[in-house]
Amino acid sequence: MFETTALTGLRGLAAIHLVLFHSIGNCSYNFNIYGQVQMPLFFLLSGFSCTLGYGWKKHQINNEENNTFDSGSFYFGRISRILPVYYFCYFYSLPLIPLGHHYFGPNDIFHWGGSVAAFFLVQSWIMVLGYGANGPSWTVSTLFFFYLLFPILLKFAQSQSNYGLSTLMAGSFILEIIFGFFMYYFVPAVSNYTFDDSYWPATASPFSRLPVFFMGICAGVLCNRIQDGDLNALNSMIF
C-alpha cells in the first residue's frame, strides 16, 4: 500500500489556504486570495486516496479470498469518520440563526430549506434551497455523492487498460474545461444568469465535479498496478 503521509500534508496546506481565504475575505480588508482554487485538489485527492486505501483490498468470504469490493466496509468507514463531526457542526450552527450570528436571518425560508436539505446531506445536489446553517458543509454533501458512486466507478476503472485509464483522465480533464467555459461564458450570455449565478453550479455541484473525483480514481488504480509490479502503468500516459 502506498504511503499517503505526503498527501495528508498537501491537504493541510490547501486547507490553510482556504481558512485564510475565508478569514481575509470576510474581514475589513476584503482581499481575495482565491482559496476556492483548492477545491478540485480536494476532490482529486479524495478519489485518489480512496482508491489507494480500498482499491487494492480483498476480503474474505467463507474463509476464501475474494476480489469483490467490500462496499459495506467502505461506507461504514466514510460514515463513521465524517458524519459525527458533520452533525456536531450542523446542530451547533442551528441555534446561532435566531440569535443573529449567521449570514441569514430566522425568517429566511430559503436558507431554512437548505438546512433541511443539509440534514440529509443533499444541499449541494439541489442547491436551489441554499446550503443551510453551516454553509461550508456543502463540500461534505458533494463528497458523499462521490462516495455513493465510488464502488461503481472503481469497478469500471479497474476494468480498463492502463492506456484506457490515461485516456479517461485526459477526457475528464477536458470535460471539466468545457463545462467551466460553458457555465462562465455561454450561460450568462444567453440567459439571465450572471457570473455569480453560474459560479456555484460549476464549483460545488457534484454533477459538475464528478470528473475530477474520477480522475483521482483512475490515477489511484494505476498506482495500485505499479505497486503490484505492473511497470507498464508508468508508460501509459498519452501525453
pLDDT at 81 over 90: yes
Domain locations in the chain?
5-235
Distances (CA, A) of 63 to 57, 58, 59, 60, 66: 15, 12, 9, 5, 9
pLDDT at 7 over 50: yes
* Residue 49: HSE in the Cβ half-sphere, 13 Å Cα cutoff: 19
Question: What is the C-alpha end-to-end distance of the chain, expressed in Å?
Answer: 27
**pLDDT of res. 107:** 64
User: Of 3-7, 14-18, 19-23, which gets the smallest average pLDDT?
Assistant: 3-7
Contact yes or no for 45/4 (Cβ under 8 A): no
**pLDDT of res. 109:** 58
What integer is the mean pLDDT of 132-139? 87
**Cell reading at 190:** 444567453
CA 182, CA 136: separation in Å to the nearest integer?
25
User: For the chain, what's the residue count?
Assistant: 239
**Please, is 52 exposed, middle or buried when counting C-beta atoms within 10 Å of its C-beta (0-12, 13-18, 19+)?**
buried
What integer is the mean pLDDT of 34-48? 92
Q: How far is CA 152 from the centre of its chain?
A: 16
**pLDDT of res. 180:** 85
**pLDDT of res. 91:** 93
- For residue 161, the SS3 value is coil
